Structure 1
């Protein structure tokens, strides 16, 4: 059976939380409580195969002209199957449908995003991100993630 991407639903909440929590415990992703995930469920996309959640990602609007890909992850044992690419393609389509001209991410996987047409940029060009999320992050003053940007217009 093929991997499909779709909008997350409430029945995905536990699996979504477990996937994100696994990455958060490794310090690779910001932790998200189940309550926060439930509140922001409509921003999430999941990849699944035969009812099993294989990956996730979400879009967060940071301004009228900018959205961020966040919480992008693929389950252990499922990497290298193109799942991340399918999720990012889905999120890019969503941003285009909303007529958002720029999409960014903070990542450790720069090569992956470069293959998808993103370019490395300085983090400080995103004050929207800094004041939305970074201000609450424990890595705020020692952030080692790389900013990437893709123009959609």
Structure 2
């Protein structure tokens, strides 16, 4: 399997079960926040999915607007057996393209995979520079006072 046999497309309601499975699989490992099927359905327009040449779901990511000039890459995951094959890079590239279309100048993520994001043009920053994130999502997270994720940022301007 190579990235050339994979394509990215906008997610549809038919993809919710696959999204739920991969996201909550990562959540069980403590490396992604869980999402309910209802939340996924409500936010389906924010998701890009990767599929192989047979149409099999192999990865996902979403873009969430946090401010006028800031979006966050969320729920970025690749199915077991497909990591390290360029799928994550394809999804991030597509999400950054979407941010450009929205005239967004900053794309951020909270991650444990810093090297991956650095290879994709992101730089490590202090998460406190994103009050939009802290007061929207982090305030409700069980890791609020012991967060071990690293903030990364890519400027598009």
Q: Under a length normalisation based on structure 1, what TM-score does the superposition of the two structures give?
A: 0.98
Q: Across the two proteins, how many residue pairs are aligned to each other?
A: 153
Instruction: Please give the alpha-carbon distance, in whole angstroms, between the structure 2 residues aligned to 1:65 and 1:16.
Output: 27
Deviation of residue 51 (structure 1)? 1.6
Match of residue 129, structure 1, among 124, 133, 150: 133
Distance in 2 between the 1:38 and 1:26 partners? 23
Q: State the partner residue of 1:65.
A: 69
SS in 2 for 1:91: helix
Q: Where does structure 1 differ by over 2 angstroms across 4 or more consecutive aligned residues?
A: none
Mapped partners of 1:149, 1:107: distance in 2: 11
- Give SS of 1:92's match: helix
CA distance in structure 1 between the partners assigned to 2:65 and 2:19 by the alignment: 20
Q: Mind listing any 5+ residue stretches in structure 2 that lack a counterpart?
A: none
1:40 maps to what in 2? Answer: 43
- Is residue 12 of structure 1 aligned with residue 6 of structure 2? no
Root-mean-square deviation over aligned CA pairs: 0.8
Structure 1: 5+ residue stretches without partners: none
Shift of 1:2: 1.4
The offset of 1:103, in angstroms, is 0.3
Whether 1:81 and 2:97 are equivalent positions in the alignment is: no
